Amino acid sequence: MGSSARKFIRQDSESTPEPAVLIRAFRKFFRDERKRSNDDDGSRGGDPNKSYANFCWVLFKNGTAVLLGSYKDNMHETLDEMASSAKRYLKHNGKLVVGTPLSDFTVNYDDDLCGWMVRFQNERIFTFVPGEKVNNGVAGADTFGSLSGEDGTNNTGNNSEARNMTFGLLGRMLRQKDARELSVIYVYKPEVGRRK
């Protein structure tokens, strides 16, 4: 089972993570992540039998991904149509509105991804902050030096709340930047095996 995907050409800047790093992180994340649901009591549970592996998603240049839905839901859409849908969705749902659920986030550091995955109230939008982000100019190593390790990836110690807040705010800022710029770098659409 392969996948069809396309990279959109863009100019890199020092403060933008490498597209390959972001693509690799989201491919792994969506392959491994279990579909989440909100239970009646407000707790978050997951269905171990369902994953996002067969879902389509669009990646923006600052590390925000928009989950579009299953392949079945998007099978007749072209990659350009999917990119347009994600742009509209992020433009409407990605801007920061303080004091509303749009500003809420949760943060998890993932050793396998070497970075922080920031989830938002809207469960179709995710932002990945790679460990390299700490040292490559977005905020500068001095800003995060006491919250992360020398390499920007250490998530242990007494500052976990402060660290999660810092990277959550950074992820939210990057999501807002993506919602403003709307620069797509990658579209993922899984292929379904052909039946005889």
Q: Which residue has the higher pLDDT, 13 or 174?
A: 174
CA 135 to chain centre: 19
Specify the pLDDT at position 155. Answer: 45
Q: What is the pLDDT of residue 83?
A: 96
For residues 103-142, one letter each, b for 16 or more C-beta atoms within 10 angstroms of the residue's C-beta and e for the rest, the string is bebebebbeebbbbbbbbebebbbbbbbbbbbbbebbeee
pLDDT of residue 186: 95
pLDDT > 60? residue 76: yes
Average pLDDT estimate for 21-47: 64
Of all residues in the chain, what percent carry a pLDDT higher than 90?
A: 26
DSSP 77-114: --HHHHHHHHHHHHHHHSS--TTSGGG-EEEEEETTTT
Q: What is the pLDDT of residues 144-174, one digit of tens each?
A: 444 444 444 444 444 677 888 888 889 999 9
Residue 150 C-beta-side C-alpha neighbours within 13 Å:
0
Say if residues 118 and 96 touch (Cβ distance below 8 Å). Answer: no
Q: What is the DSSP letter of 124?
A: T
Beta bridge partners of 105: 120
pLDDT tens per residue across span 101-134: 566 788 888 888 888 899 887 888 999 998 865 4
Q: Is the pLDDT assigned to residue 91 strictly greater than 60?
A: yes
Residue 184: its pLDDT value, please? 96
Give residue-wise pLDDT tens across range 42-75. Answer: 344 455 556 778 889 999 999 999 999 888 888 8
Q: Is pLDDT of 94 > 80?
A: yes
Sign of CA dihedral 136, 139, 140, 142: negative
Give 175 or 7, the one with higher predicted confidence. 175
| CA torsion, ordered 130, 133, 136, 138, to nearest 10 deg | 150
Cα(49)–Cα(45) distance, integer angstroms: 12
Is residue 80's pLDDT more than 90? yes
Q: How far apart are CA 125 and CA 123, in angstroms?
A: 6
